[in-house]
Amino acid sequence: MLNKFLKDLRNKDHKPGFGGLDILRYIGPGLLVTVGFIDPGNWASNIAAGSGYGYTLLWMVSLSTLMLIILQHNVAHLGIATGLCLSEAATLHLRPWVSKSVLWTAMGASVSTSLAEILGASIALNMLLKIPIPAGAILTLTFVMIMLFTNSYRRIEKFIIAFVSIIGLSFLYELTLVKVDWAAAGIGWVNPSFPQGSMVVIMSVLGAVVMPHNLFLHSEIIQSRQWNLENDSVIRKQLKYEFFDTLFSMIIGWAINSAIIILAAATFFKNRTQVDELQQAESILTPLLGHHSAIIFALALLFSGLASTLTSGMAGGSILAGLYSEPYDIKDSHSKLGVLISLVLSVFIIFVIRNPYQGLIISQVILSMQLPFTILTQIRLTSSATVMGAHVNRKRTTALLLIIGAIVTYLNIRLLISFF
């Protein structure tokens, strides 16, 4: 990834400033990750949570976001300290059968992610322009391919930041139109509960927030901010500002995901309306909140789908390139192949699935099932002095990561039990 860009920076021995304005200039990688967990898959999961269970599953967004902040900071730590993304580090430092097993399942998770992103954008195009979903998938794929193959990372980053801003403003506007029971929402944010029949939705929310492909992506794109791997003080300053970027971006994601659940609870659940498809949200919102709210909803969904498809394609390219011990570089054949596998295969699946909304939910459950393998791989690498050198995890950090891994595994076991 960005080989020439990084090489030029290192050759210049550039040492960045770290004043207040530099913090603002540093923000970017975290927002690319954020758009991955405010994607159409999240919309489907959150609307299912809010319309089916009111405010009671807001706690899962809080817990997932807290875990996400810790995981994303830790994996960005890996990228900054080693100059390797998670995929490269796994290939280099783990046994081949272990790394290949994890990375190929991660590629499967990337396809599942891209399925949700492209499907969401297609549904939005159907809501806005009545374009059939298969045709919308082709249009979305074409747009994203042009963006990935012709634009630089820095341009894409600016598009993503713009998209996130539009999505956030859209939901702030939507919330002004509904009457929210903030007392119930406050309880829902902090009180874990497992309503009967809710495990699939809970796990889809988890998989929609803590996404395997985002862990690979963050460790890759964070290197666009590197200046000098040999300068320990610079690395430590980068880690500090990276944490600010991650924390700021994840809080935005938490707010948007919470807003979707609250909006669904205050409209659909309040009116005892179970949502079975995202298109249904438009027809329900229009009489409840007015015509403009439905248009804003569909536009935000479209921007969310386009932006998150860009990041899922980049993640697929990064994962496959790492299998060959290479950084992500869209001009390289392995990176291109990873992007194509992630995006084209997902479009093929869209052509054969019968229930798009259910497909969105299932895709997020698949992510949650792959997640423990990626988390354990990350812990193994960042807890190794051989890999991380002086920046190896502290014992309490490793313990915290293991607790997160245990929680995710426990929830997956509960999901499997719920099927019997």
pLDDT tens digits along 182-223: 999 999 999 999 998 888 888 888 887 888 888 998 888 777
Hey, which of 14-23, 83-92, 201-210, 286-295 has the most confident mean pLDDT?
83-92
Across the chain, what does the average pLDDT equal? Answer: 83
- CA–chain centroid gap for 19, Å, is 29
Cα separation of 347 and 364, whole Å? Answer: 16
List of residues 6+ apart from 343 with CB closer than 8 A: 114, 118, 141, 144, 145, 309, 312, 313, 316
Residue-level pLDDT at 356? 78
* Token pair belonging to 168: 């956030």
List of residues 6+ apart from 162 with CB closer than 8 A: none
Binned at pLDDT 50, 70 and 90, residue 16 comes out as very low
State the first-to-last Cα distance of the chain, in angstroms, to the nearest integer. 45
- In this predicted structure, the answer to whether residue 288 has a pLDDT above a threshold of 80 is no
Mean pLDDT (whole number) for 314-327:
93
Residue-level pLDDT at 13? 41
Mean pLDDT (whole number) for 147-167:
72
Q: Which amino acid is at 254?
A: W
* Nearest partner of 90 among 373, 407, 416, judged by Cα: 373
Residue-level pLDDT at 3? 46
**What is the pTM assigned to this prediction?**
0.83
* Token pair belonging to 160: 């993503």
* Token pair belonging to 123: 């549904």
pLDDT tens digits along 31-71: 666 766 677 777 888 888 999 999 999 999 999 999 989 99
Binned at pLDDT 50, 70 and 90, residue 419 comes out as low
Cα separation of 211 and 111, whole Å? Answer: 12
Residue-level pLDDT at 1? 44
- In this predicted structure, the answer to whether residue 26 has a pLDDT above a threshold of 60 is no
Cα separation of 33 and 75, whole Å? Answer: 12
* Token pair belonging to 195: 């309503």
**In the chain, domain spans:** 3-418
Residue-level pLDDT at 21? 46
Q: Are 160 and 32 in contact (CB under 8 A)?
A: yes
How many helices and strands (H and E) does the chain possess?
19, 0
For the chain, how big is the Rg over CA atoms in Å? 20
Q: Are 82 and 224 in contact (CB under 8 A)?
A: no
> Which residue is it, tokens 């080989």?
3
Mean pLDDT (whole number) for 120-149:
92
Residue-level pLDDT at 297? 80
List of residues 6+ apart from 360 with CB closer than 8 A: 40, 41, 43, 44, 45, 116, 119, 120, 278
pLDDT tens digits along 353-407: 878 777 877 888 888 889 999 999 999 999 999 999 888 999 999 999 999 999 9
pLDDT over 70 percentage in the chain: 83
- Let me know if domain 3-418 sits in CATH 1.20.1740.10: yes
pLDDT over 90 percentage in the chain: 40
Q: What CA–CA distances, in Å, run from 308 to 288, 367, 387?
A: 29, 15, 30
410 burial (CB, 10 Å; 0-12 / 13-18 / 19+) is exposed
Give the DSSP letter string of 239-291: HHHHHHHHHHHHHHHHHHHHHHHHHHIIIIITTT----SHHHHHHHHHHHH-H
